A and B are shown apart, each in its own frame.
Chain A
Amino acid sequence: MTQHDPALLSAALAGAEQALNQAIALAPHSHQELDSVSGTLLGIEITTLDLNVYIEMVAGTEVRLLAHCERETDAFVRGTLEDFAALATTDDPAATLINSDIALEGSSASLITLQQVIAGMEIDWEAPLVELLGDVAGHQIAEGLRRFFRWGEGARASLKRQVSEYLLEEGRLTPPKAELEHFYDAVQSVAMRVERAQSQVEKLLAKAAARQTPQ
């Protein structure tokens, strides 16, 4: 009677929930921030997949992912998979939420707080590694991982900047953002003028038709 096999969805959610809770357990700095949204229930409808998922913040260190929930949500968002991927990875969730086609019911504050906490989560790899490999080896590997992630983050930012500069300045393949916005404004202005002209023409045609009608 349901379109999706609940067992498949439960499998996906159970895996994601476990990964998320393990990540939270390894990010003690985020516990206090997560505690501030404790008890919050968010509903997500991914229209492209015809899928509903609920995120329940149980306590500062636990998140539940549900396929079915009858409690009233604090916030409910509806959008395509692409919209949600953009929201999850953006640096400015509020702007992305406003500019995307995502429909939001309820409080956006809890959604934005949760996105910021997850995006800013700093996972401490050292604790489980030390437990597994001992103090010296665990610390060395964790330090190596931290350096690798810092380098990866720097490399990603640098690559993004350089690609952007190349496309704009060297290749002239894409227009600058300001130029693009100006173009969009101009298109919008032309569209409005055409609409007004069309309305005037229709009015004139109606008048002419009225005059030609025999009394």
Chain B
Amino acid sequence: MNDEATSNADRDDDTTDFGFTRVDREAKAGMVRGVFDSVASRYDLMNDLMSGGVHRLWKRYTIELSAARPGQTILDIAGGTGDLAARFSRLVGPEGQVILADINAAMLEVGRDRLIDKGATGNVEVVQADAQALPFKDNSVDCITIAFGLRNVTDKALAFRSMLRVLRPGGRLLVLEFSKPTSAVLGKVYDQYSFQILPAMGRLIAQDADSYRYLAESIRKHPDQETLLGMMEDAGFGECRYHNMTGGIVALHQGFKP
């Protein structure tokens, strides 16, 4: 268990983590919005920089694990620039539906444009929504994915309960998120990369070192694999498990609505 266990955003006080800083719970959403407003137009470039392009492989495996099939309804929360939604759109076909949801209007705007460019339009709906209070009917979605978005949610337990409500019985939740490297050596290399190289790249390429520093810090404050697994189980998800990827730098958690 990492230090998230004690500094979790869901603990009983009025502050929460914003990277390594404690901020007012009410203020976090606005501050996260500020970061993503700043990086929205370069979000894919940022992901490529942060992961060395490997985020495409992590997302590819997430799509495989979703077992999405024609006619299903898929909700992609914090869907950002719509790369998962575009692929789901093909898998569910014209009789299915994909909902691209994000709390950030700037990200959704980029995502919507990208989806139109890729021809994914007929079966995709774009919705500005907060993961903690999803504006969808109970038992209405077959699969929910949230890729690299959960760590920015203020109250993760509330978000999990909201996702559980929206999922159909038997539906699955997939959480793709940065996590804790399984090897100490890899962890040290990764720390150096995150806190030295990444902000420098952010400064050089996007003239925005602070946003990149926040992203690195928010990864460290995010619950590790086992803690997140416990949070999903506490929220009511069943058959919960996770797959470590790239030595645990990223973990894909899966749970089903009983």
Contact = CB atoms under 8 A, between A and B. Distances in A.
B contact face: mostly helix, strand, loop, or mixed = mixed
A6 B69 contact: no
B64 A5 contact: no
A140 interface: no
B250 to A, nearest CB: 8
A41 to B, nearest CB: 12
B67 interface: yes
Given A1-B241, A2-B243, A7 B57 contact: yes
B57 A11 contact: yes
A69 B246 CA distance: 21
Contacts of A147: none
A1 B57 CA distance: 18
A163 B114 CA distance: 58
Contact of A10 (B57, B241, B247): B57
A192 B40 CA distance: 76
B61 interface: yes
A142 interface: no
A66 interface: yes
Interface in B58-87: 58, 60-61, 64-65, 67, 69
Contact of A14 (B60, B67, B242, B244): B60
B64 A68 contact: yes
B245 interface: yes
Contacts of B245: 5-7
A11 B57 CA distance: 6
Given A7-B58, A14-B57, A1 B243 contact: yes
Q: Chain A: interface residue count, which band? A: 10 to 19
B100 to A, nearest CB: 22
Interface residues of B, number: 19
Nearest to B251: A1
Interface string A65-102: 01111110000000000000000000000000000000
Given A6-B252, A7-B54, A67 B243 contact: no
B57 A67 contact: no
Given A5-B245, A6-B245, A7-B246, A71 B57 contact: no
Interface string B33-47: 000000000000000
B64 A66 contact: yes
A10 B61 contact: yes
Contacts of A5: 244-247
Contacts of A10: 57-58, 60-61, 64
Interface string B223-250: 0000000000000000001111111001
A10 B247 CA distance: 14
Interface of A: 1-2, 5-7, 9-11, 14, 66-71
21 contacts: A1-B242, A2-B243, A5-B244, A5-B245, A5-B246, A6-B243, A7-B54, A7-B57, A7-B58, A7-B61, A10-B60, A10-B61, A10-B64, A11-B54, A11-B57, A68-B61, A68-B64, A68-B65, A69-B67, A70-B67, A71-B67
Interface of B: 54, 56-58, 60-61, 64-65, 67, 69, 241-247, 250, 252
